[in-house]
Amino acid sequence: MYDKKLMREIQQLGFAALDLNLYLDTHPDCKKAISDYNVIQRQYENKRRMYELNVGPLVNFGMSPSKYPWEWLDGPWPWENE
Amino acid sequence: MWLYEKRLQFPVNIKKKDLRMAGLLVTQYGGPDGELGAAIRYLNQRYAMPTNKTKGLLTDIGTEEWVPWGYPLFSIILLALTKLVYI
């Protein structure tokens, strides 16, 4: 079942990872940012794995496993109200 | 190549229809100064870049403009504001 709280955490971690990624593209020698990035990356991966186990796949085309029947089609889709 | 992620980058919670706001957003959506145009420009410019730093940066900002913001989030806000059109 859809988990709003877990999804918020994924959104927050994903946002932080994206921002650190863009910062590092222009500051590739910043040790602090790389260490922050790696901390966030691990938390993000853990939360995503938890979401995929409890709710369903987040990414198509071979990035997430599926139970039976094919889980990718299950709602809610991102444009549907939670 | 790019993959679809079945989530929004940011929660969207729009309570009422607002066609004026939707009209403002449409100007940022397509068109010469819109998000999609910017994304395609970054992704094409990266082929001419001389350094790995600039190749990487343009790949990342092109992806970011196009994928998480430019398209899904934007179109969903529009959809919620208008409740009329499917973009």
Could you give the CA distance from residue B56 to residue A31 in angstroms, rounded to a whole number? 18
Q: Is position B67 within any domain?
A: yes
On the question of pLDDT at A48 being above 80, the answer is yes
d(CA A38, CA A20): 10
Q: Is residue B46 situated within a structural domain?
A: yes
State the Cα–Cα distance between residues A11 and A15, nearest whole angstrom: 6
In a domain, B39, yes or no: yes
Q: What are phi and psi of B5, to 5 degrees?
A: -110, 125
Digit-coded pLDDT (tens) for B58-81:
999 988 877 655 556 666 777 777
Chain B interface residues (partner A, CB cutoff 8 A): 3-11, 53, 56-57, 60-61, 64, 68, 72, 75-76, 79
Contact B60 A22 (CB under 8 A): yes
Model confidence band, residue B12 (pLDDT cutoffs 50, 70, 90) = confident
* ipTM for this model: 0.88
pTM of the model: 0.85
**A60, B7: Cβ pair inside 8 Å?**
no
| pLDDT tens digits along A51-75 | 999 999 999 999 999 999 999 999 8
- A78 closest CB neighbour out of B6, B56, B60: B6
CA B6/CA A19 separation, integer angstroms: 20
- State whether residue A8 sits within 8 Å of chain B by CB: yes
Per-residue pLDDT band at A38 (split at 50, 70, 90): very high
**pLDDT greater at residue B86 or residue A55:** A55
Q: Give the best residue of B1, B2, B7, B85 to mutate against chain A (max A CB count within 10 A).
A: B7
Instruction: Work out how many domains chain B is built from and give that number.
Output: 1
Show the DSSP H helices in chain B as ranges: 19-29, 35-45, 52-64, 74-82
- State mean pLDDT over B26-46: 82
Q: What's the CA gap between B70 and A80, in Å, rounded? A: 18
Domain of residue B64, residue span: 33-82
Query: Do residues B10 and B73 lie in contact, with contact meaning Cβ atoms separated by under 8 Å?
Result: yes
